[in-house]
């Protein structure tokens, strides 16, 4: 009961954010004010969004109301931080509160700041070392951890930019630790941009280390874009090497987007190369994004009535369903409990392997990698609790059937098998955290079933009871009843 209560509290939804509430930067006026600091020979420029009443106002598409930029004597920005209308620090992209720049000869050291203005690490790296050309354009970026050791990010250690005659970036090359082209986690080493006369990117195409056209992990050779009036991608067409529409590994050729007013994605819908709606593996024709919750949609763009939407929309229902399944597995006759447990194993495999987009092998071999953000982010708590509760009914059903200690091994073995399959096939992310959570959930389920079986094994004296699983009548305490194969002895 205690674990159930803690689980519900941990994954209870945070107060939702209305992505359409407020004003965008285009609807506000931007005021600029610069103050000189004679002691350091630097300056602070404050950029403030104000409304029609000249009040400082949060720009929902920028994620802040005020940006403060500190510049050195040469006019180069050495630090910038972001604030709301009340002057409180705000986090950009759920990631950092500010950026710090250190300049060397043809180099910029980029570090990220927390709410107090101290240096912080992002999820995978903490520092970028950027090389500049004579025109001040970025040429190379390399990623480092907090100890300034090279660190791999999405399969590569750095990136290199090339520019065309107009000065526009037209190629990105992913680099290994030695500065050589390397395949990134998306399956290609080089990405070339296509632009129109105005410089707007209209597409991108992928190449291997030798510059040969290659497929991405999603199954296409490139993507062609259409943009809306606000400069956001409204459609992606997945393309072959010749730029023709091709069906990707997820089963669609075109993906269309709509957005909230703050610029975050509202919906994306799937279509074939003729523009007809396409259903994916769970019957969904698209997804609606509600904060960090995703809901499956039907052909008409309506949210579907299905188990996934119930669990995604109301995360605590995972716990409710888990408790209900455990109870049913315990009270049903053993034959029915066996069938239900087998069906649940199929459900686990379906959820962990069948509804995943394939790609290059992705791993997370850091145990408890979520520890630093578990209390801060509800989405991380949901993921951890779901991993545990996914295997609780499995453990309950297994012990209900076999009532042997060795069933403790099955959740671990099954979880390892799933993670290995994900690693080999590129389905999802294989990691130690999932193995730990699944195994823990299975063991909790075994404990639940063991407690239930133990408490229901002793029968009250003085009357006969019937074992529902075997159909055998058991007499008074201390008596023995022959089954024809083995005598029953009361413990």
Q: Which residues contact 49 (CB under 8 A, 6 or more apart)?
A: 25, 28, 29, 30, 31, 56, 57, 58, 59, 62, 65, 66
The tens digit of pLDDT for each residue in 126-144 reads 999 999 999 999 999 999 9
- The answer as to whether 470 is a domain residue is no
The pair of structure tokens assigned to 366 is 């850091």
- The answer as to whether 474 is a domain residue is no
C-alpha torsion angle, residues 274, 280, 285, 290 (rounded to 10)? -140
Same domain? 59 vs 119: yes
pLDDT at 368: 66
- The answer as to whether 468 is a domain residue is no
- DSSP class per residue in 107-166: EEEEEEE-TTS-EE--SS-SEEEEEE-TTS-EEEEEEE-TTS-B--BTTBSEEEEEE-TT
The answer to whether 154 and 182 are in contact (CB under 8 A) is no
Same domain? 153 vs 259: yes
In the numeric block, the tokens 């990691």 are attached to 431
pTM of the predicted protein model: 0.74
Q: Which of 289, 312, 335 is the last residue of a domain?
A: 312
Same domain? 291 vs 341: no
- The answer as to whether 249 is a domain residue is yes
Question: Which contiguous run of DSSP H or E holds residue 106?
Answer: none
Same domain? 207 vs 118: yes
Same domain? 274 vs 214: yes
Same domain? 191 vs 216: yes
Residues of the chain with pLDDT under 70: 1, 11, 13-16, 354-378, 426-430, 458-491
- The answer as to whether 183 is a domain residue is yes
d(CA 488, CA 435): 39
d(CA 8, CA 381): 10
C-alpha torsion angle, residues 115, 116, 118, 124 (rounded to 10)? -20
Q: Which of 264, 288, 312 is the last residue of a domain?
A: 312
- The answer as to whether 373 is a domain residue is yes
pLDDT at 360: 43
Same domain? 346 vs 402: yes
pLDDT at 234: 97
pLDDT at 352: 80
- DSSP class per residue in 299-322: TTSPBP-SHHHHHHHSTTHHHHHH
Q: Range of 346's domain?
A: 317-457
How many folded domains does the chain comprise?
2
- The answer as to whether 16 is a domain residue is no
Question: Which contiguous run of DSSP H or E holds residue 393?
Answer: helix 378-402
Beta-carbon-side half-sphere exposure of residue 317 (alpha carbons within 13 Å) = 10
The tens digit of pLDDT for each residue in 44-87 reads 999 999 999 999 999 999 999 999 999 998 899 999 999 999 99
d(CA 12, CA 163): 48
């Amino acid at each position: 009961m205690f674990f159930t209560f803690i689980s519900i509290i941990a994954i209870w939804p945070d107060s939702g954010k209305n992505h359409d509430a407020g004003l965008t930067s285009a609807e506000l006026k931007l005021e600029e004010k610069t103050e000189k600091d004679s002691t350091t020979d630097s300056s602070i420029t404050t950029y403030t969004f104000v409304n029609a009443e000249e009040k400082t106002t949060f720009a929902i598409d920028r994620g802040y109301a005020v940006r403060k930029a500190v510049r050195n004597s040469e006019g180069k920005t050495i630090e910038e931080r972001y604030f709301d209308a009340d002057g409180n620090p705000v986090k950009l992209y759920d990631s950092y509160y500010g950026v710090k720049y250190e300049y060397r000869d043809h180099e910029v050291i980029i570090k990220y700041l927390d709410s107090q203005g101290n240096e912080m690490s992002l999820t995978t790296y903490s520092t970028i070392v950027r090389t500049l050309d004579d025109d001040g354009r970025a040429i190379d970026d390399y990623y480092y951890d907090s100890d300034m050791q090279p660190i791999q990010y999405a399969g590569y250690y750095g990136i290199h930019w090339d520019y065309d005659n107009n000065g526009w970036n037209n190629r990105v090359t992913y680099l290994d630790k030695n500065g050589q082209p390397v395949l990134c986690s998306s399956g290609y080493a080089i990405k070339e941009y296509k632009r129109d006369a105005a410089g707007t990117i209209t597409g991108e195409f992928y190449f291997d280390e030798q510059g040969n056209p290659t497929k991405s992990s999603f199954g296409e050779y490139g993507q062609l874009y259409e943009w809306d009036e606000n400069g956001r991608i409204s459609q992606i067409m997945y393309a072959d090497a010749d730029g023709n529409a091709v069906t990707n590994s997820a089963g669609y050729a075109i993906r269309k987007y709509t957005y909230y007013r703050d610029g975050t994605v509202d919906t994306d819908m799937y279509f074939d190369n003729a523009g007809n709606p396409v259903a994916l593996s769970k019957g969904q024709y698209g997804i609606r994004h509600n904060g960090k919750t995703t809901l499956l949609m039907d052909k008409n763009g309506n949210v579907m009535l299905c188990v996934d939407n119930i669990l995604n929309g109301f995360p605590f229902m995972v716990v409710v369903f888990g408790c209900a399944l455990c109870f049913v597995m315990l009270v049903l006759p053993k034959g029915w409990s066996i069938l239900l447990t087998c069906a649940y194993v199929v459900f686990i495999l379906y959820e962990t392997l069948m509804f995943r987009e394939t790609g290059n092998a992705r791993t997370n071999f850091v145990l408890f990698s979520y520890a630093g953000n578990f209390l801060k982010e509800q989405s991380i708590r949901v993921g951890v609790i779901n991993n545990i509760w996914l295997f609780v009914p499995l453990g309950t059903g297994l012990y209900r059937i076999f009532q042997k200690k060795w069933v403790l091994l099955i959740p671990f073995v099954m979880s390892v098998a799933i993670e290995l399959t994900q690693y080999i096939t590129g389905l999802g992310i294989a990691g130690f955290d999932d193995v730990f959570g699944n195994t823990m959930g299975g063991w909790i389920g075994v404990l639940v079933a063991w407690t239930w079986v133990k408490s229901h094994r002793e029968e009250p004296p003085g009357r006969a009871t019937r074992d529902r699983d075997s159909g055998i009548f058991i007499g008074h305490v201390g008596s023995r009843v022959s089954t024809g194969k083995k005598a029953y002895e009361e413990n």
